[in-house]
Structures are given as C-alpha cells and as structure tokens.
C-alpha cells in the first residue's frame, strides 16, 4: 500500500506568507488609486457645477444659483413642476442634491457644500459670486485633498485637507495660496 503525500505544514505556511506579502503590497496601491480616482471625480464635479452655474447666470439673468438644487432637475412628484430658475435642469439629480435629497450632496466619496449670498437670487439681489467646496467623506479613506471652486473658474486644491469651507465671496478669501494650497 502506497502512502499519499500531500503538502507539509511548512509548505502551506510558506505559500500563505507569499500570498500575504503580495496582498500587503497590492492593497495599499489599490486604495491610493481609488483615492486618486475619487479626487479626479471631485475636481470634475466642481467643473460641472461651474459650467452649470455659468449657463444659469446667462439664462436667468439673476447671477449664479442660490443653491445646488436650483441647478438640478425638477424633483419627481413635488417641488417645481417645470424648468425654471429654481429647477434649471443643468446638473444631474445626484450632484444637485435632488435625489437623494441632500443639502450637501455626496458623489464618489466627496461631499459638496455650496455657498451663495442669496437663495434664491432675484433681479434686485443677484448672486455675483459663489463658491463650492468638495471634502472627502472619510479623510484618508476616500481622498486626502479638499477642493474649492468659484466664479473665477479655477479649482484650488488643499493637499493637506485642512481647509473645508469657504464663503460666498469665493475661494481666495479663505483659501490663501501656500505650500499645500494652490491651483489644480
């Protein structure tokens, strides 16, 4: 009778260690790649908001939108029934915070906060400036940098992630250029 020979305990331990070493190298790289993708998505979303705001300003003649929802589509089953200055249909429902309903919508691991002086803007009180800030929902997990975009059509990036807000006058007042803060 022949004995069947399998793997020894040492061989199994060595194979397991090799798998763990490969995973230890691959997982951090995957997480960094995912954070870089989230940051690129956040910058792209800020550009979309800027384009939508420029169109809003030229179409409705009251300056920039008073909030992100005004740039979005009419919500189903309520709110505004037609496209207008309170539902301009220039952004998708996720980014505008219409569906799911959110004042500060989240997309690709970033939360967006919009700053405007007047909500809603009017002919007598138009919004001549605005700012929008993108902050990672889990700093160090979904992204490390924060972003600010305003009516000057430039994205400012804080690689330290320390700046997380702005005001309606734009990014320059609260995001001074430094070693970690600069244009993207």
pLDDT of residue 147: 97
Average per-residue pLDDT for the chain: 90
DSSP 120-141: S--SSS-B--EEEEEEESSBTT
Residue 75 lies in a domain: yes
Across the range 118-140, mean pLDDT stands at 93
Distance CA 179, CA 15 (A): 45
* pLDDT bracket for residue 1 (50, 70, 90): low
Residue 158 lies in a domain: yes
Query: What are the backbone angles phi and psi of residue 155, rounded to the nearest 5°?
Result: -95, 130
Residue 21 lies in a domain: yes
Distance CA 67, CA 69 (A): 6
Residue 18 lies in a domain: yes
* pLDDT bracket for residue 77 (50, 70, 90): very low
Which of 7-16, 66-75, 124-133, 168-177 is most confident? 124-133
Residue 5 lies in a domain: no
The share of the chain scoring above pLDDT 90, in percent, equals 68
Across the range 108-123, mean pLDDT stands at 93
Examine the pLDDT at 184 and tell me if it is beyond 50.
Answer: yes
Residue 123 lies in a domain: yes
Distance CA 25, CA 47 (A): 34
Distance CA 117, CA 125 (A): 9
pLDDT of residue 6: 78
Across the range 58-87, mean pLDDT stands at 82
Residue 1 lies in a domain: no
pLDDT of residue 79: 54
Distance CA 80, CA 86 (A): 7
pTM equals 0.84
Residue pair 102/95 in contact by the 8 Å Cβ criterion: no
Number of independent structural domains in the chain: 1
Residue 176 lies in a domain: yes
Domain that holds residue 92: 10-183
């Amino acid at each position: 009778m022949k004995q069947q020979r399998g793997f020894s305990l040492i061989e199994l331990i060595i194979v397991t260690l090799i798998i763990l070493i490969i995973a230890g190298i691959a997982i951090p790289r995957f997480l960094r790649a995912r954070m870089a993708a989230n940051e690129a998505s956040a910058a792209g979303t800020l550009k979309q908001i800027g384009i939508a705001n420029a169109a809003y300003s030229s179409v409705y003649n009251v300056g920039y939108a008073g909030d992100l929802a005004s740039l979005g589509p009419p919500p189903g089953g309520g709110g505004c029934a037609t496209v207008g200055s309170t539902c301009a249909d220039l952004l998708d429902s996720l980014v505008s915070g219409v569906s799911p309903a959110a004042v500060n919508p989240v997309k690709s691991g970033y939360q967006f906060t919009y700053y405007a002086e007047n909500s809603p803007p009017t002919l007598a009180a138009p919004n001549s400036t605005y700012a929008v800030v993108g902050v990672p929902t889990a700093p160090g997990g979904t992204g490390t940098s924060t972003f600010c975009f305003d009516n000057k059509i430039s994205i400012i990036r804080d690689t330290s992630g320390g700046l997380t807000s702005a005001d309606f006058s734009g990014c320059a007042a609260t995001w001074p250029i430094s070693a970690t803060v600069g244009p993207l």
